[in-house]
C-alpha cells in the first residue's frame, strides 16, 4: 500500500502561524515544526511531504529554504528521501524495520489516563467462566451481546435517562464510536461543529470524512462561547455537532443546564445531530450537582466507555441513540470491523455491576492527583495558570506565552513526552496552553515536572529552544 501524501495546502494548515514564532534561520524553524507534528502524531509516520518546489510556493519561502529544512529532518532521522519517490516522514530508529517506539523509555505527560482498577482481574475471571456458553455462537455481534446492551441500558436508567437495549450499540471504545458515527452521518462537503480545544482523535475522525469543521471556543475561564455556538447552528446548519459537555477534554469545563436546553433546542431547529461524548462525565472529584445529560433535553446521541474510568486496555464503549440510527450504524459497521470481542464484553458486563464502587475509588485517586499536580506546577512555574478542576483527567495549563510547541520539543531532550497545545485545536492555535494529566503516581509526576522545568529553562525569550548546541544534538534519537 502506498504512503499517504500531504498536499502543500494540508501541510500549510498543520504548520499554522509558525513563522510568527520562529527564531533563528527559517529552515531550522520549519524543520522544528514538521518534527513536532510528527512526534505529536499530527503527521502520520511514512506520509510523503510535498515536493520542495510546491511547498515553497505555497508558504512563501525559497526552494533553497525548504530543501535545507528537509535535509535537517533527514540528518536527524525524521525523514527519508528516495529518488523518484519524494520525502517521507519517519521517527528516529524506525528505518529499515528498526521498530523503536517513539515513547520508549520516556516519562509521559502526554496521556490523560489512569492505571487499571483492581476490579478488572476479578471481572475477567468471571467472564472467562461464562465464555464457554457463547462458544457455540459465530461470535460476530454487530450490536453487541444482549446482556451487555441490557446492562448499559440499565446504567442509563440509573442516571434518569429512559433507555432500552435496542438503543445501544457496543463499540471498540469511544474512539471507534466517534469514527463510526462520523463515517455514517457525514459526507464530503458537509459541515461539522466541534469545540476548540477538543479531543485530538475526534478532530482526526471528523476530518477524515472530508467535512468542513466549524470550531467554537471553550476556555477554562468562561466555558463555551455560547452565543457563537448558537449562531453557528442557526447560520451554518451543520450536519453534526461533536461536544464534551461534562469535564470537557482538555479544559475541564461543564455546561450549565440552562445552556443545554438552549443548545438542544437550537440543534433540533437546525437539523443538527448532536453527539455528546460522555466518557469523562462521571469522573467527578467535587462537583456538587451534576447537570442533566444532553439526552435528557433532546435527542442527542451519547457516547460512553469504560476505558477512561476502568482501564485504557479494556477497549469497550457504546453508542446510545434512537433505534433507527442504531440499525443504520450496525449496517455500516462491517466496513470497518465485525464486532467487539466477546470476552471483553463479558468482562464489562460484570464490571458494570460494581461501577459505583469503581467511580468512588477514581474520585479519591483524581483528588490526590489534582492536589499533587496543582502543588507541583505552582511551586515550579509560579507564572503559569492552573485552572479550577472539578473533575476529569487533566488540567489545561496556561503558559502565559505562546511556547507550547517549543516546550514540547525541548522536553524531548529531557526525556519527557508532552502533548503540545495545538494538538487539541485547528490550524496551529492554542500555543499558550499545555494539557497535563492528573493520573500519574506522585513520585513519577515529580520527576516529570522536574524534567519539564529543565526544558522550560532552555527556552529563550522568543519561546524557542536556545541554540547553544546543534539541533541534532538537542533532539537525540529516541
Q: Per-residue pLDDT tens for 415-469?
A: 999 988 989 998 767 989 999 999 999 999 999 999 999 999 998 655 555 543 3
Q: CB burial class (10 A; 0-12, 13-18, 19+) of residue 401?
A: middle
Query: Packing angle between helix 146-158 and helix 342-352, nearest 10 degrees?
Result: 30
**Ranges of CATH 1.10.10.10 domains, the chain:** 8-97
In angstroms, the CA 423 to CA 199 distance is 9
Confidence of residue 475 (pLDDT cuts 50, 70, 90): very low
Share of the chain above pLDDT 90, in %: 70
Question: What is the reported pLDDT for 79?
Answer: 87
Given a cut of 80, whether residue 2 has pLDDT beyond it is: no
Stretch 203-210: mean pLDDT:
92
Question: What is the reported pLDDT for 16?
Answer: 80
pLDDT digits 0-9 by tens, 341-396: 999 999 999 999 999 999 999 999 999 999 999 999 999 999 999 999 999 999 99
Q: In 3D, which of 53, 56, 9 has the Cα closest to residue 30?
A: 56
Question: What is the reported pLDDT for 244?
Answer: 98
pLDDT digits 0-9 by tens, 66-113: 999 999 888 888 888 887 778 888 876 544 433 334 455 789 999 999
Question: What is the reported pLDDT for 473?
Answer: 31
Question: What is the reported pLDDT for 289?
Answer: 87
What pTM does this model have? 0.83
In angstroms, the CA 245 to CA 254 distance is 5
Helix ranges (H only) for 271-339 are 294-297, 323-332
Question: What is the reported pLDDT for 224?
Answer: 97
A 10 A CB-CB count for 377 gives: 21
CATH class of 119-356: alpha beta
Given a cut of 90, whether residue 20 has pLDDT beyond it is: no
Confidence of residue 3 (pLDDT cuts 50, 70, 90): low
- State the DSSP H helix or E strand holding residue 81, giving kind and residue range, or none if neither: strand 79-82
A 10 A CB-CB count for 136 gives: 7
Which of the residue ranges 11-20, 174-183, 306-315 would you say has the lowest mean pLDDT? 11-20
Stretch 403-425: mean pLDDT:
90
Mean pLDDT, the chain, rounded, equals 89
Question: What is the reported pLDDT for 466?
Answer: 52
pLDDT: is 206 or 93 the higher one? 206
Confidence of residue 474 (pLDDT cuts 50, 70, 90): very low
Using the structure block, give the residue that is written with the C-alpha cell 488540567. Answer: 395
Question: What is the reported pLDDT for 101?
Answer: 43
The CATH number of the domain covering residues in 8-97: 1.10.10.10
Q: How many CA atoms lie within 13 A of 298 on its CB side?
A: 22
Question: What is the reported pLDDT for 428?
Answer: 67
Contacts of 18 (CB under 8 A, 6+ apart): 29, 30, 33, 428
Given a cut of 90, whether residue 411 has pLDDT beyond it is: yes
Question: What is the reported pLDDT for 460?
Answer: 64
Q: In 3D, which of 213, 160, 206 has the Cα closest to residue 185?
A: 206
Using the structure block, give the residue that is written with the C-alpha cell 495549563. Answer: 397
**Contact criterion met (CB below 8 Å) for 149 and 168:** yes
**Ranges of CATH 3.40.640.10 domains, the chain:** 119-356
pLDDT: is 476 or 425 the higher one? 425
Question: What is the reported pLDDT for 429?
Answer: 79
Q: Does domain 107-115+369-474 have CATH number 1.10.760.10?
A: no
- State the DSSP H helix or E strand holding residue 257, giving kind and residue range, or none if neither: helix 257-270
Question: What is the reported pLDDT for 465?
Answer: 55
Q: How many CA atoms lie within 13 A of 25 on its CB side?
A: 13
**Ranges of CATH 3.90.1150.10 domains, the chain:** 107-115+369-474
- State the DSSP H helix or E strand holding residue 31, giving kind and residue range, or none if neither: helix 26-39
Helix ranges (H only) for 282-438 are 294-297, 323-332, 342-352, 355-380, 404-413
Question: What is the reported pLDDT for 37?
Answer: 84
Residues linked to residue 459 through DSSP beta bridges, in sequence order: 465
Pairing of strands 301-305, 317-320: antiparallel
Helix ranges (H only) for 402-474 are 404-413, 442-457, 471-474
Residues linked to residue 417 through DSSP beta bridges, in sequence order: 108
Amino acid at each position: 500500500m502506498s504512503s499517504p501524501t500531504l498536499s502543500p495546502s494540508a501541510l500549510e494548515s498543520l504548520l499554522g502561524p509558525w513563522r510568527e514564532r520562529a527564531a533563528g534561520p527559517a529552515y531550522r524553524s520549519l524543520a522544528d515544526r514538521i518534527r513536532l507534528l510528527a512526534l505529536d502524531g499530527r503527521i502520520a509516520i511514512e506520509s510523503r511531504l510535498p515536493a520542495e518546489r510546491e511547498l515553497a510556493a505555497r508558504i512563501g519561502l525559497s526552494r533553497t529554504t525548504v530543501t535545507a529544512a528537509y535535509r535537517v529532518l533527514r540528518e536527524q532521522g525524521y525523514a527519508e528521501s528516495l529518488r523518484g519517490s519524494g520525502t517521507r516522514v519517519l521517527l528516529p530508529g524506525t528505518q529499515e524495520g528498526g521498530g523503536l517506539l517513539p515513547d520508549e523509555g520516556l516519562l509521559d505527560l502526554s496521556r490523560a489516563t489512569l492505571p487499571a482498577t483492581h476490579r478488572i482481574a476479578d471481572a475477567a475471571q468471571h467472564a472467562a467462566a461464562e465464555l464457554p456458553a457463547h462458544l457455540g455462537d459465530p461470535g460476530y455481534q454487530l450490536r453487541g451481546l444482549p446482556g451487555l446492551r441490557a446492562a448499559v441500558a440499565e446504567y442509563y436508567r440509573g442516571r434518569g435517562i429512559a433507555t432500552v437495549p435496542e438503543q445501544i450499540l457496543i463499540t471498540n471504545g469511544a474512539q471507534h464510536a466517534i469514527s463510526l458515527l462520523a463515517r455514517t452521518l457525514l459526507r464530503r462537503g458537509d459541515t461539522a461543529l466541534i469545540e476548540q480545544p477538543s479531543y485530538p482523535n475526534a478532530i482526526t475522525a471528523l476530518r477524515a470524512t472530508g467535512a468542513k469543521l466549524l470550531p467554537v471556543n471553550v476556555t477554562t475561564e468562561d466555558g463555551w462561547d455560547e452565543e457563537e455556538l448558537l449562531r453557528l447552528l442557526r447560520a451554518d446548519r451543520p450536519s453534526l455537532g461533536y461536544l464534551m459537555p461534562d469535564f470537557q477534554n482538555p479544559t475541564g469545563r461543564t455546561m450549565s443546564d440552562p445552556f443545554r436546553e438552549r443548545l438542544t433546542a437550537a440543534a433540533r431547529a437546525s437539523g443538527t445531530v448532536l453527539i455528546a461524548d460522555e466518557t469523562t462525565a462521571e469522573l467527578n472529584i467535587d462537583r456538587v450537582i451534576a447537570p442533566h445529560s444532553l439526552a435528557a433535553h433532546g435527542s442527542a446521541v451519547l457516547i460512553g466507555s469504560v476505558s477512561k474510568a476502568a482501564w485504557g486496555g479494556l477497549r469497550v464503549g457504546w453508542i446510545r441513540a434512537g433505534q433507527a440510527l442504531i440499525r443504520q450504524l450496525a449496517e455500516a459497521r462491517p466496513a470497518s470491523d465485525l464486532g467487539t470481542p466477546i470476552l471483553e464484553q463479558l468482562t464489562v458486563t460484570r464490571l458494570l455491576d460494581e461501577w459505583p464502587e469503581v467511580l468512588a475509588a477514581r474520585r479519591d485517586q483524581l483528588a490526590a492527583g489534582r492536589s499533587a499536580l496543582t502543588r507541583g506546577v505552582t511551586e515550579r512555574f509560579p507564572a503559569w495558570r492552573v485552572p479550577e478542576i472539578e473533575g476529569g483527567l487533566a488540567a489545561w495549563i496556561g503558559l502565559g506565552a505562546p511556547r507550547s510547541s517549543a516546550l514540547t520539543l525541548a522536553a524531548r531532550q529531557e526525556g519527557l513526552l508532552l502533548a503540545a497545545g495545538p494538538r487539541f485545536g485547528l490550524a496551529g492555535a492554542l500555543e499558550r496552553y499545555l494539557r497535563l494529566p492528573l493520573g500519574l503516581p506522585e513520585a513519577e509526576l515529580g520527576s516529570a515536572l522536574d524534567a519539564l522545568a529543565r526544558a522550560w529553562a532552555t527556552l529563550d525569550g522568543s519561546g524557542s529552544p536556545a541554540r547553544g548546541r546543534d539541533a541534532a544534538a538537542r533532539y537525540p534519537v529516541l
